[in-house]
Amino acid sequence: MDKLLEWFGGIRLREAVYDDDRGVTLRFIYGEEIPSGFEDELNKWVEDNLSEFDVKIEFEQPYIDEDVLLLKFKKMLIGNFAVLLSGFLDDDISIAYNGAEYTVTLHIPQDVGEYIRQTTIYQEFLKELRDNYFAEFIIDFIDKPLAVGGNIEELEKAMADFMPERRVDKSMHVRGIEYYLGRPIKERPIKIEHLRVSPHDQVIAGKIMYLTKKSYKKQVEDEEVEKSFWTFVLDDGRNRAQCVFFPNQKSEPLFEKLVDGTAIAVVGVYQERGGRESFRVGGVSFCEI
C-alpha cells in the first residue's frame, strides 16, 4: 500500500477500519482530485492482498475550517506549554492560506518558540495535522517580549521547572534482516511497547511463540471455500504482540515452514477489532536478535 501511495502521490490512507464480519473499510483523503488510474491499481492491490475480506473503499477531500484549526493550535499550546506562555492572547496567533499551504504565525518569546519546536508533542501535532488534512503547514515564530516583564531569569526558571522531554529510543536493535515473504522491510523495527493502533505500516521484531494454523470459510461466488490463516505471539524479550497472518497462494507454503522460536521482523498494521488489538502481518523477514 505504501508503495502504491508513494507512486501516485496526492492521496493518503487515513484509516483502515475492520469489523467482526471480516469486512474492512479503507478511507482515503486526497488533495485537488483523485489521481488518474489510482482506483484501478487500488482494486488490483485489494485483490492481491485483501481477498479474504469484504472491502469497502471511501474517498474524502478534507475541508479545513480555519477557526477550528486555530482552536486546535491554542489547545495544543496552552494544554502542554501553559507555564511558558503566560499572557498568551488570541491576537498572538493567526493563520493565512495562499492556495498551496497554510502559514500559522505565533507571537511568543524566541526562547520559548525554539524550545516548543524541538518537542515531540509539537512535532507529532504537526504530523497529525498533515496526515488528517492533506495540507502543508508552515509555522512562523515571531519574537514577542515576555509577559513576565522581559525578565529572562524568570523565563529560564519556568523552562527549568517545566523539564525538557526525555528522549526515548523506540527502536529495536536487530541484525541481519533477510527478506522472506510478503512486503519487504525498509525501516528499523520498534520495540513492541511502542506499538500504537494506526492505519500505517509499523515494523516489530521478536521470536515466534504459540504459532497456530486456523481456518475459516469464505463465500466465493456460489461456493463456500475454506481458507487458512495463522495466529502467533511475537516476543521481543520484554513485551509481546498478538499477531495474525492471512496468506495468499504464494506466501502460504513459505509461512507453513516457520516454527516457534524463529527470530523474525514483521511489517504490518496494528489494529483494533472488537476491543482487542492485534498486529496484521503483511511481510516477514528473518533477523538476528
Q: What CATH number did the domain enclosing 263 receive?
A: 2.40.50.140
274-283 mean pLDDT: 88
164-183 mean pLDDT: 79
> For residue 178, what pLDDT is reported?
93
Q: What is the tally of structural domains in the chain?
A: 3
Integer Cα distance of 113 and 134 in angstroms: 25
- Between 279 and 126, the more confident residue is 279
34-50 mean pLDDT: 87
> For residue 163, what pLDDT is reported?
44
Residues 91 and 37 in one domain: no
Q: Residue 152 pLDDT more than 70?
A: no
Would you place residue 132 in the very low, low, confident or very high pLDDT band (cuts 50, 70, 90)? confident
Residues 55 and 122 in one domain: no
Average pLDDT, the chain: 82
In a domain, 110, yes or no: yes
> For residue 147, what pLDDT is reported?
52
Q: Residue 22 pLDDT more than 80?
A: no
Residues 82 and 41 in one domain: no
Q: Residue 164 pLDDT more than 60?
A: no
Would you place residue 166 in the very low, low, confident or very high pLDDT band (cuts 50, 70, 90)? very low
Q: Which pairs with CB-CB distance under 8 Å and at least 24 residues apart come from 183-191?
A: 183/267, 183/282, 183/283, 184/267, 184/283, 184/285, 185/265, 185/266, 185/267, 185/283, 185/285, 186/267, 189/265, 189/287, 191/236, 191/238, 191/239
> For residue 225, what pLDDT is reported?
81
Q: Which tens digit of pLDDT belongs to each residue from 220-257? A: 777 888 889 999 999 999 899 999 999 988 999 999 99
In a domain, 167, yes or no: no
In terms of C-beta density within 10 A (0-12 exposed, 13-18 middle, 19 or more buried), how is residue 163 classed?
exposed
Residues 131 and 154 in one domain: yes
Residues 79 and 157 in one domain: yes
Last residue of a domain, one of 162, 189, 207: 162
> For residue 153, what pLDDT is reported?
55
63-84 mean pLDDT: 82
203-226 mean pLDDT: 87
Q: Which domain holds residue 31?
A: 2-60
> For residue 157, what pLDDT is reported?
57
In a domain, 169, yes or no: no
> For residue 264, what pLDDT is reported?
96
Q: Residue 21 pLDDT more than 70?
A: no
User: Both ends of the chain: CA-CA distance in Å?
Assistant: 28
Closest by CA to 159, choosing from 86, 240, 93, 247, is 86
